[in-house]
Structure 1
Amino acid sequence: MVNQATSSIQVIDRLARLLDAIAANNSPVSLKILSAETGLHPSTAFRILASLAEHGFVERSSAGHYRLGVKLLQLGSRVQGRLDIRREARPIMEWLRNETGETVNLIVREGDEVVYVERVTPNRMMRVEQVIGARAPLHVTAVGKLFLAEGGAEACLEYAARTGLPVCTPHSITDPTALWRSVKNALQQGYALDDQEAELGVGCIGVPIRDSTNHIVAGISVSAPIERRREVWVSLIRQAGEKLSLRLGFHPENRPVGA
């Protein structure tokens, strides 16, 4: 019985390796390549692939090459539909809070504003408090700038004309051309800054969260008193954004140029 259980686990392991190998290739893959990449004997790989094809998890072309099957797409859409971004983000945000010692925010877009939908705070007296449900104009927040950038120059300038770029602090950007230049640069570098633009004395670093369609659906930011904000946090915040994006189905190979 133990041997049978071990054998079953081994089959699952081999199955997973084959699916990962197929997914890693942008075009259908031959049995020879799959065998080499997984370390499986061709006959073993062929038997497992035949079973996967029978159940719709892979498809075999007329040339004998393999690609992922529609059954995986159906299952993936069910998982995607059940994902709660706040639930998925919470442990990642807590990790980032522990690494930086500062407040971490999960932010989404609603019209011309960002909305803070989740936050985790450090156990310290002097900290930045962002109330869940609080709102701010897109152009004065780090994550909001990334949303503006994704829409392109025309959409950014339309936002500026529509809103008049309300001033929150003396540091808020009020010139439409300067705003586009700032947000375009932010998207290219993969993160954005809020230099006391939403609140005096507070600086933020934000990164985008992308889903399986490669669109920005949210953002994570770290807020801190401006004198405590550190450039070395950028890599940590980008790691957090990458982790959450992967949880939402984002594929790194689809990353926009420059991001």
Structure 2
Amino acid sequence: MENKNKTVIKSMELLHLFLTEPSLSLNELVSRSEMPKTSVHRMASSLEEMGFLTRAADGRYQLGLIFLQFGQLVSERLDIRKIAKPIMEELCGEVDEAVQLIMRDGDEAIYVEKIEGTQTVRLFTAIGRRSPLYAGACARSILSFLPREEIDTYLQKTEFAAIASGTMTNPAELLQSIETSLQSGYTISYSELEDYTAAIGAPIFNHEGKVAAGISIAGFEARFSEDRLPYLTEKVKAAAQHISEKLGY
């Protein structure tokens, strides 16, 4: 406990009071938290400024709408994982390569599920790992299918850095890859996140027709031969379509 930020802990204690009460006055927050009034007022004001609390005309506090955004994100991620996992397991059994599921988190992609193949040597990816949206087939399958204005904004503000020998750091090259993905419905990468690896990714769409996640087959480059690519490509696209349909697309 000594190593934790006490202000953060006390702020969370205030927020927890709203789990059972729709609104609370400043005096009620002080009484229920048993904290000094000046401290409660300061923390409540900070939480209000950040959007975690809102204050009505009568001065009573209630949870801010930002929690709806967080709740929706958590719900979507849990639902997609639950829906996607059996489809990912089936895909993995068919292609015997690692199958990965990612979601967008700001300007990054986060790995939320992974199914391992039977290969002796495996890729270094784990649930919770992050990567920039421009690097790797799975992440770029999300970037490629965002609204064009979002893509343009992303390309303009992003500082591209090489992660492995094949990472795309040229905006023009990246844009060409995005255009190709839009036409073909999938994305392919070689040595972008890790040398001597390859991946084929496809976008997953939700009931609103918006890209919600990306799924990829990933393994070592030698197993992604030119004659095997059509088979792998169709498999990952079919899996992405199946998950999308389950999400109401």
Alignment correspondent of 2:101: 106
Out of 213, 238, 246, which is 1:218 matched to? 213
What SS does structure 2 have at the residue aligned with 1:130?
coil
1:235 and 2:234 aligned: yes
Counterpart contact for 1:207–1:221, Cα < 8 Å: yes
Counterpart contact for 2:146–2:211, Cα < 8 Å: no
1:165 and 2:160 aligned: yes
* Deviation for aligned residue 1:143: 2.4
Structure 1's consecutive aligned runs of 4 or more residues displaced over 6 angstroms after TM superposition are 80-83
Quickly say closer, same or farther: Cα 1:186–1:82, change in 2 above 3 A. closer
Alignment correspondent of 1:246: 245
Amino acid at match of 1:161: Q
Counterpart contact for 1:193–1:203, Cα < 8 Å: yes
Q: TM-score, normalised by structure 2?
A: 0.64
Amino acid at match of 1:239: A
* Deviation for aligned residue 1:152: 4.6
What SS does structure 2 have at the residue aligned with 1:84?
helix
Counterpart contact for 1:157–1:176, Cα < 8 Å: no
Amino acid at match of 1:84: D
CA RMSD in angstroms comes to 1.9
* Deviation for aligned residue 1:211: 1.0
| Stretch moving more, 168-177 or 91-100 | 168-177
Amino acid at match of 1:217: A
> C-alpha separation between the residues in 2 aligned to 1:222 and 1:100?
8
Alignment correspondent of 2:196: 201
| Stretch moving more, 229-238 or 160-169 | 160-169
Q: TM-score, normalised by structure 1?
A: 0.62
Counterpart contact for 1:153–1:180, Cα < 8 Å: no
Amino acid at match of 2:120: M
> C-alpha separation between the residues in 1 aligned to 2:126 and 2:78?
23
Q: Could you list the per-position Cα deviations for residues 119-143 of structure 1 after superposition, in whole angstroms to 9, with x for gaps in the alignment?
A: 1102331222311000011111112
> C-alpha separation between the residues in 2 aligned to 1:153 and 1:173?
19
Alignment correspondent of 2:6: none
* Deviation for aligned residue 1:156: 2.7
Q: Could you list the per-position Cα deviations for residues 5-26 of structure 1 after superposition, in whole angstroms to 9, with x for gaps in the alignment?
A: xxxxxxxxxxxxxxxxxxxxxx
Counterpart contact for 1:191–1:208, Cα < 8 Å: yes
Alignment correspondent of 2:84: 89
Amino acid at match of 1:233: L
Alignment correspondent of 2:144: 149
> C-alpha separation between the residues in 2 aligned to 1:152 and 1:195?
25
> C-alpha separation between the residues in 1 aligned to 2:76 and 2:147?
28
* Deviation for aligned residue 1:153: 4.7
Aligned residue pairs total: 171
Q: Map 1:62-77; keep pairs closer than 5 Å.
A: none
> C-alpha separation between the residues in 1 aligned to 2:84 and 2:148?
30
Counterpart contact for 2:164–2:193, Cα < 8 Å: yes
* Deviation for aligned residue 1:174: 1.4
Identical amino acids, percent of aligned pairs: 34
Gaps of 5+ in 1: 1-79, 251-259
> C-alpha separation between the residues in 1 aligned to 2:115 and 2:155?
31
> C-alpha separation between the residues in 2 aligned to 1:245 and 1:221?
14
* Deviation for aligned residue 1:83: 7.2
Counterpart contact for 2:188–2:200, Cα < 8 Å: yes
Q: Could you list the per-position Cα deviations for residues 158-195 of structure 1 after superposition, in whole angstroms to 9, with x for gaps in the alignment?
A: 32332211211221111111111111211220000111
What SS does structure 2 have at the residue aligned with 1:227?
helix
Amino acid at match of 2:103: V
Quickly say closer, same or farther: Cα 1:221–1:163, change in 2 above 3 A. same
Quickly say closer, same or farther: Cα 1:83–1:134, change in 2 above 3 A. closer
Amino acid at match of 2:214: G
Counterpart contact for 2:144–2:182, Cα < 8 Å: yes
